[in-house]
Every structure is written in structure tokens, then in C-alpha cells.
Amino acid sequence: MSTKDFNVLTIRQEAAKLGFDEIRFTHLDPAPGVDNYNRFIDEGRHGEMGWMERGQPPRANPFSLLPGAKSVIVLGMNYSHPRPPDPGGLTGKVASYAWGRDYHNRIGKRLKKLDRNLREQIPGFLSYGGVDSRPLIERAWAQRAGLGFLGKNCLAILPGRSSYFFIAVMLVNIDLPPDTPLGDHCGSCQRCLDVCPTGAFTAPGELDARRCISYLTIEHKGEIPNDLRQQMGRWVFGCDDCQEVCPHNPKNPIFADPEFAPRAGHAWLDLEWVLLADDDTLKSHFQGSPIRRPGPQGLKRNAAIVLGNMGDPSARTSLLRAMDHSDAIVKSHAKWALDRL
């Protein structure tokens, strides 16, 4: 067996042992997706996500992240689980990737273990990698490596299988045979574009994050524009609308890693509880969950909007109590919801 074949076999075996469902390889230079990424930033479509702008140089020059890098390993991990039944009442929907444990932490630990295992078996092996936390354009690397094609909703999609998977990328200092990219599998379908409540897609494959419900409920820290609040519907954290209508996603998904299975009370949030719980309680309850990212004020803001959209008069008492909150943004969104009631 040649050294290259041994390395490929070793990487595939070790990655599979750690629960990665998809393993692909691609060449390093030039970095993919840079022009589209720069245009996205230049047009201001990234909103308040300043880290995207700060990370432009290394995304364009991966050699600055790992001198001597030669190839890229792209890894996919499925997180698809059936959505728990709607409990009814005053509850809000959570995007499916956030039902279980925080993928940054869980997959990050597996990447570190993969790096450690490969160093032990491949002489001189070095890597630099991450999952949605490093200056790497993961979806572009996935597309080049054949781990999905980029759909009109800007997500990597495995044709006929799923778009519900996390992408991790590792730059490595060894030569690996590149896999073949996939062609377009959207065709004339534009269900994802049509279903977006806020019109966040400005064209196929073009997203304005400032109108995206996922951005608004998670990354955006201030007032949510009035003209977008009603379009949020029951989404209190993230949004899956453009994935739920995609014909490549089966109606009955295969159960994924149990670490990403729905935790009790995480797929549907009790909105009144979110609105009235103190900050420490919310932080503690969502410890180890992506739902913690907007912070207590962001979650309360989102909960107030969803309660306003639901229009149930029984939420009035909770919203009135939220008017006493110390945060001006929570107050203003509670008032908006009360006005709608």
C-alpha cells in the first residue's frame, strides 16, 4: 500500500470512528468562495456580524492558518431528528440544529481527537480546523470536495439525502486525492426562495442576512425591524423553513447522533417562562446549548415577538410584567406585542 493510500484509509477510518458520516478531500489552492464572500461583506449583507469582516484575509489565504498546508479534509455530521410534536399553548419553535448539545463544543472535541489520533499514525501530520468557529468558508470547501452542492438557499445539500448536517474543515500538510464536486441538483425548483417569510433571498444562492430569521433571532442584538416581526411567526430561535420544503430532505429523516437529539423543552420553548425567568436561570437552563447564544435579553425579545404574533390574550399578563424589565429592547418588544393583542 502506498503512503497516500495508507493516509486516506487511516483518515477515513479514524473519522468514521468518531461519528463523522461523510468524509471528503479536496485541494487547497486557491481558496473557494472568496469572491462571493467578499461581495457579501462589501454589500453589507452580513449585518452586525463583524467577525465575518475581520476574518476575510485568512479565508482568502488558508496558508496563513497552516503554513505548509497541502490538502483539505471536509467532514459532515448529520443532526437530523424528527421534530417533536407541537405541544400547543404559548410555545415557540427552535431550529433543529439547536435541539441537542452545542455542535461547536461536541464536534470541536472530536476534531481535536481526530487530529491527535492522526498525529500518532501519520508521521509529521499537522492540521488546522474547526466547525463554524474558524476563518474558513466551510460551505465552499464542502462544495469543492463533493460533500453536497450549494442550493438556492445557500446551504450544502447532499442530493436526495439531506441538508441537515454540520460541516467541519481541516487543513492538513499532506497530499490527499481530491474528490469530485457535484453538479447542480436544484434545477427549476425554488421552493426555498418562495417559502422564506421575510424575503431574505435576493436571488438564487444570494442571502441578505439582515432579513433572515436565523440572523435576526440569534446574531442581531438590537431592535428587530417592525416590518419583519410579524413574518417571524413562531420562530423564537433560528428558522428551518427553507430546509423543511427542500425535496432533498426526506419527510422521515434518519436518526442522527444522539447528542443532537431533542432535549426536553428545547425544540419548543415555553414563551412565558422565557419572558419571566431571570437571566441566571436562562443561562443555566441553556448551558451547553446553542440556544444560549442570543443571551437572556435576545431570547426575551424573541419570545415577546412570537407572543405578539400568536395573538393569544392569555399572554397579556406576562407581557405586562416584561414591561418592567430593565432592558429597553425587551420593554419595547413587549409593548409591540401588547399593542398587537
Whether 132 is a known active-site residue: answer yes
pLDDT digits (tens, 9 = 90+) for 238-256: 999 999 999 999 887 777 8
Work out the angle between the directed axes of helices 3-17 and 103-121 (0-180°, nearest 10).
150
Nearest CA to 185 out of 222, 148, 229, 235 is that of: 148
Sign of CA dihedral 87, 91, 96, 98: negative
Nearest CA to 20 out of 82, 74, 77, 92 is that of: 77
The answer, yes or no, to whether residue 211 has pLDDT greater than 80, is yes
The pLDDT value recorded for residue 246 is 97
* Options 21, 29, 86, 132, the catalytic residue: 132
Q: Which three cell numbers stand for residue 8?
A: 486516506
Domain layout of the chain by residue ranges: 3-83+100-172, 191-252+263-340
pLDDT digits (tens, 9 = 90+) for 74-88: 999 999 999 999 999
pLDDT digits (tens, 9 = 90+) for 305-336: 999 999 999 999 999 999 999 999 999 999 99
C-alpha torsion angle, residues 144, 150, 156, 158 (rounded to 10): -90
Nearest CA to 93 out of 260, 229, 219, 236 is that of: 236
The pLDDT value recorded for residue 166 is 97
Tell me whether the omega of the peptide bond preceding residue 313 falls within 30 degrees of 0, making it cis.
no
H/E stretch holding 103: helix 103-121
Sign of CA dihedral 242, 244, 246, 248: positive
Q: Model pTM?
A: 0.95
